[in-house]
Amino acid sequence: MPECFYSWCGNSMNAPRGYISSFLPSFPIVAPLFAISLAMNYPLAFTSLAVAVAVCIAVCRHKASFRAIPGPPSPSWIFGNMLQLWVSSPYGKYEFAWLKEYGNIYRLKGCFGQDRLMVSDPRAVQHILNSVNTFRISPILETLLHTIQGPRGIQAVRGEEHRRMRTALNVAFTASAVRQYQEIFEKVARTISSRLEAASEDVVDVCHVLGAGTLSAIAEVVLGRSVEELDEELVQVLSIIAVQETRHTPGSVIANALGALLPQFSLLKHVVSLLPILGLLRKTRKLATRLGTQVIEEKAAALENGMDPGDDLYAYLLRQNTTLTKEDIAKQTVILLTGGQDSTANTLTLGLLELARNPELQEKIREEIQSMTNSSHDNKPLLNALIKETLRMYPLEPLVERIAQRDTVISLTESISTMAGERMDHVPVHKGEVVIVGIASYQRDKSRWGENPDKFDPLRWVDGRVVKGEAIGPYANLLSFFGGPRTCLGWRFAVLEMQTIFSELVGKFSFALAEGEPDDLCVQLAVSLQPSDAKGNKVVPLRVTRLL
Ligand code: HEM
């Protein structure tokens, strides 16, 4: 579940006014949620609260350890550079310009004059993502993960328990385990093909078709169930989560700033997760866990009776006899369904959009696919270059905030100059300070990815322009699947799924921009980085023509 997930909760609050008062007794816990709600319902009261908090912060604040590092001017004391960073449209309008001007370590202003360190230096990024005890996610994000996944969800558990659970789950995500799901991916790809065919020679919202396709893939591969067999209510909540208009807003930026100040008490998680405004998250978890439990029970019974439990991921996990209990497996259903669907659908959609913008490249990739039908997808260089370039340009989680739990030092790949002209090859960070890992910025660093890093150009992966550099992330030195102990568990699954679906679709159809329509499609930061039209709707209309 991406970092920016909780902005979604902010936007989905249509709470009746009177009900806000029920948050007041637990105000320190729910401050961010309260802030968004207040902003929407009582703008004046919100402004007064924001000013009061700002004054407190200004009084208590100590000088940030990285104050001497240059960075862009701040346009506002209340928001600092945070609106430019989190709310700009298209995503990265300011961030990628700052990267060019200030390099891969610079200082930003957070809300109410607080300093933030923006980091995309590879060594520093690796250090932060690996040091999960020193750099923790904000308490409010932890609370939301706890709400949607429950205390036993893989993203909610920490430390040794996380390591144990990950090792056990990983048996179903190794290269050889994932190869077993190939046939199911092929079946799903053919279903997507027939849906497109039904609409062929017409303009189709590929985002919608691929969203439905990747939900089928995840349901069939993980649970051995077709979408038609899933609870209708569950499919409905999953699609609300996927298409919800969840862009960041000034309210969510303030909530973010306040959320970073909350204490890390586990009791708070339990209290906050009961709040009525988080009802949709609880409902998703309840429905998904109920389905997971039912599936696991059926498969366990089949195994006990010497019958075939199926060839899906849950059956595989049960057969492997891992240290996970049946309840623990069932409790991962919500992260697997939510984390595995939209992420892959968005990446596939953005890849097809880029091919529609570049017919020549599309034709080259099609020729490779059609001439290598019997080869493994791993042997198709252009197909894999398309996947890598789409992941590079459009990381699902482009910004990651972490709060230092103690004083520490971050070493850099290359030294930087302070405003006074001194050289620094490491940056001290004090307890409580917030660093922002710029994953999208890291993936646009010219020294690593070659000339024109802002251009979508898959050929950079085959003509030697990409520099190997320090090994980072699980796939192609990219951080789109994250890095460190919290690396995406499903990255091999996602790569094989994308290889299979791209091969099927690009091999059989041509994709073009809708004629007469301006190409105003872009990406915006919502729950994750999402394709969007100029009005912010999650739609990508493309003209799809059947070729074979
Ligand atoms: C293009 C597709 C995908 C992308 C870009 C992606 C990206 C990510 C990212 C960035 C994270 C880290 C989130 C965080 O901790 O802030 C993550 C975690 C995770 N992903 Fe994916 N993901 C993709 C597909 C999948 C699929 C298909 C599955 C499952 C079948 C999956 C399962 C998971 C799980 C279980 C975690 C939590 C790992 C942990 O906390 O130990 N992902 N993913």
Could you tell me the distance, in angstroms and rounded to a whole number, from the CA of residue 335 to the centre of ligand 1? Answer: 9
Calculate mean pLDDT across residues 325-347.
Answer: 93
The whole-number pLDDT of residue 254 equals 86
* pLDDT range class, residue 434, cuts 50, 70, 90: very high
Distance between CA atoms of 132 and 387, rounded to whole angstroms? 29
CA-closest residue to ligand 1 atom 27: 340
Which pLDDT band holds residue 446 (cuts at 50, 70, 90)? very high
pLDDT, mean of residues 130-137: 94
The reply to whether ligand 1 has any atom less than 6 angstroms from the CB of 98 is no
What's the pLDDT at 24?
30
Q: Distance from the CA of 233 to the center of ligand 1, in angstroms?
A: 24
Give the confidence band of 139 by pLDDT, cuts at 50, 70, 90. Answer: confident
Q: Measuring from atom 18 of ligand 1, which residue has the nearest CA?
A: 488
Give, for ligand 1, the residue of 132, 481, 488 to mutate: max count of ligand atoms closer than 8 Å to Cβ: 488
- If DSSP codes are grouped into helix, strand and coil, which group holds residue 478? strand
DSSP string for 403-470: EESS-EEEEEEEEEE-TTS-EEEEEEE-TT-EEEEEHHHHTT-HHHH-S-TTS--GGGGTTT-S---S
Is residue 494 within 8 A of residue 488, CB to CB? The reply is: yes
Annotated ligand binding at 488? The verdict is yes
Residue among 470, 473, 469 at smallest CA distance from 486:
473
The reply to whether ligand 1 has any atom less than 6 angstroms from the CB of 155 is: yes
Question: What pLDDT sits at residue 5?
Answer: 36
Q: Ligand 1 centroid to 189 CA: how many Å?
A: 21
- Exposure of 265 by Cβ count < 10 A (0-12 exposed, 13-18 middle, 19+ buried)? exposed
Q: Is 396 in the pocket of ligand 1 (CB under 6 A)?
A: yes
Ligand 1 contact, 364 CB (< 6 A): no
Q: Whose CA is closest to atom 7 on ligand 1?
A: 481
Structure tokens, 384: 């894999």
Give the model confidence (pLDDT) of 402-430 as tens digits: 999 999 999 999 999 999 999 999 999 99
Query: Of 1-10, 94-103, 268-277, 488-497, where does mean pLDDT reach its minimum?
Result: 1-10
Contact 347, 396 (CB under 8 A): yes
User: Which pairing describes strands 434-438 and 115-119: parallel, antiparallel, or unpaired?
Assistant: parallel
Q: Is residue 15's pLDDT more than 50?
A: no
* 174 Cα distance to chain centroid: 21
DSSP code, position 278: G
Would you give the DSSP letter of residue 187?
A: H
| Average predicted confidence (pLDDT) for the chain | 85
CA 339 to centroid of ligand 1, rounded, Å: 6
Q: Which of 91, 118, 122 is nearest to 105 (CA)?
A: 118
- Mean pLDDT to the nearest integer, 14-28: 30
Model confidence at 246: pLDDT above 70: no
Kindly give the distance from the C-alpha atom of residue 443 to the centroid of ligand 1, in angstroms, as a whole number: 18
Contact 65/119 with Cβ under 8 angstroms?
no
**Max mean pLDDT range (125-134, 265-274, 516-525):** 125-134
pLDDT of residue 265: 61
Whether the per-residue pLDDT at 33 is higher than 50: the answer is no
Pick the residue with more confidence: 349 or 255?
349
| Gap from CA of 186 to ligand 1 centroid (Å) | 22
> What is the rounded average pLDDT of the residues 528-548?
88
Give the model confidence (pLDDT) of 43-78 as tens digits.
565 565 656 565 555 545 556 678 899 999 999 999
- Cα separation of 417 and 49, whole Å? 38
Domains of the chain by range and CATH? 5-546 (1.10.630.10)
Question: Is ligand 1 within 6 A of the CB of residue 481?
Answer: yes
Q: How confident is the model at residue 280, as a pLDDT? A: 80
- Counting from 1 in the atom list of ligand 1, the atom nearest the Cα of 332 is 35
Q: What angle do CA 14, 17, 21 make, to 5 degrees?
A: 115
- Per-residue pLDDT, averaged over 376-384, amounts to 96
236-264 average pLDDT score: 75
User: What is the arithmetic mean of pLDDT over 199-219?
Assistant: 88
Residue 513 pLDDT level (bands cut at 50, 70, 90): very high
- The pLDDT value recorded for residue 61 is 55
489 Cβ inside 6 Å of ligand 1:
yes
